[in-house]
Amino acid sequence: MQYRPFGKLEFAVSILGFGAMRLPTQNDKINEEEARKLIYYAIDHGVNYLDTAYLYHNGASEEFLGRVLKGNLRQKIKLTSKLPCWLVKTSADFDTFLDTQLKRLGTDCLDFYLLHSLNAATWDRLLKLDVLNWAEKARQAGRFRWFGFSFHDSYDVFIRILSAYPWDICQIQYNYMDVENQAGQAGLREAFKRQIPVVVMEPLLGGKLAARPPKPVQEIWDRAPLRRTPVAWALEWLWDQPEATTVLSGMSSLEQVKENVALASRPKPLTGQDQDLIAEVREAFRKLAAIPCTRCGYCMPCPQGVDIPANLNTYNDGLMYNSPEAARGTYQWWESAYFKFHVFDRDIRAAACIRCALCETKCPQSIPISSWMPVIHKVLGEGSPYCKQI
């Protein structure tokens, strides 16, 4: 296993971290016998960073890890969990959630505690509830050692949050398709410059980059002098960047753990030709998209509450990665009562569009957004086959 310095903190972290969000399941519950094998194998082979959160597996992830990480095993890893920011209503909730999580995990002190999935709205609300003062007191009380945040918003918001506090750690979505999305490569490098270690999540874009690639992409990979699996291309691209302190993988089978551990034990440096091929692959994927959305956000806000970029890009993802069911699953989750109650109190789907076309007057790509919305709803909401033309 390869290791890297964890920012200014005095320990080295494995370049592969274990994300406990996609543990193996059986009958909608964690298959504990199989999941234990994954955890044991990873730790036995040098993985020393383990990440979970309050809501992973509906809370069962923390409870499972609390049963598994006993004695010497707990001492071999740095354990991270996260505050479900979108569920926080009052300042008293900070302690309520942390108390529950410590009990679930069977520990008095977490190594890392993160504000989960920060965006501009949740950050502003937490600031009003004095979260930073609370965090300092909780740290001084020995309830966690280091404090940080995970992030899903624009680069500008990332920099605003990064500059607001002397963070010990941050976690961002980053992969070779997300170079300019969210915090992106610029955010990765800025955090590194400030000596804030970066934990990378979604290195395989929710598994999309691990799947058998479409023909135009595979033809590019086939030109590489050194053949790699799709997983190896994605992970080694990240490990080739010293700013990526550790890369989380949400592994759900022992085969995945073994493959990733083997890659992390002897990652192969990328050549200039490899980097050129990855750039070609990125463009080949993007050319498979039907809608030329760049996620600039100029179309927002929508008067009806529709998250226009999310709808356009979820539709595109289904096409680009040949994953229509995953795209439909995302769209249907937006419709769920849970999502509307805990995340957004409105319908953000294309279905809520009234075709006022206000967004089209602001779109620099001249996308006929109001014409695409009923198509997106028909494809993702009603399950009809994908169609690239209106």
State residue 44's pLDDT score. 96
Mean pLDDT of 58-64: 93
**What is the reported pLDDT for 337?**
65
* 269-307 tens-digit pLDDT: 999 999 999 999 999 999 998 998 877 788 999 999 999
- Predicted confidence at residue 364, as pLDDT, reads 82
pTM: 0.86
Helix axes 60-68, 32-44, angle to 10 degrees: 60
Tell me 214's DSSP state: P
Residues contacting residue 101 through CB under 8 Å, at least 6 positions apart = 54, 62, 81, 110
pLDDT of residue 389: 37
Residue closest to 324 by CA, chosen among 382, 251, 389, 371? 382
Domain residue spans of the chain: 3-271, 308-381
pLDDT at 388: 44
Which whole number is the average pLDDT over 353-373?
Answer: 92
pLDDT-derived band of residue 387, with 50, 70 and 90 as boundaries? very low
Residue 19 and residue 206 in contact, taking contact as beta carbons nearer than 8 Å? no
Q: Over the stretch 199-237, which tens digit does the pLDDT of each residue have?
A: 999 999 888 898 888 899 999 999 999 999 999 999 999
pLDDT at 383: 61
For the record, the structure tokens of 73 come out as 């095993």
Token pair in block for residue 118: 């920060």
pLDDT in tens, 8-23: 898 999 999 999 999 9
**Average pLDDT score over the chain:** 92
**Taking residues 116-145, what's their average pLDDT?**
95
Residue whose entry in the numeric block shows the structure tokens 């398709």: 177
Q: What pLDDT was estimated at residue 72?
A: 86
Residue 384 has pLDDT above 70, yes or no: no
The per-residue pLDDT for range 145-202, each reduced to its tens digit, is 999 999 988 999 999 999 999 999 999 999 999 999 899 999 999 999 999 999 999 9
Residue 324 pLDDT greater than 50, yes or no: yes
Q: What is the model's pLDDT at position 385?
A: 54
pLDDT at residue 204, rounded to an integer = 93
pLDDT at 35: 96
Contact predicate 311/376, CB 8 Å: yes
- Return the SS3 of 121: helix
Give the homologous superfamily in CATH for domain 3-271: NADP-dependent oxidoreductase domain (3.20.20.100)
Give the pLDDT confidence score for residue 341 in this predicted structure.
63
Q: What φ, ψ does residue 204 adopt, rounded to 5°?
A: -110, 15
**Percent residues over pLDDT 90 in the chain:** 76
- CB of 333 closer than 8 Å to CB of 339: yes
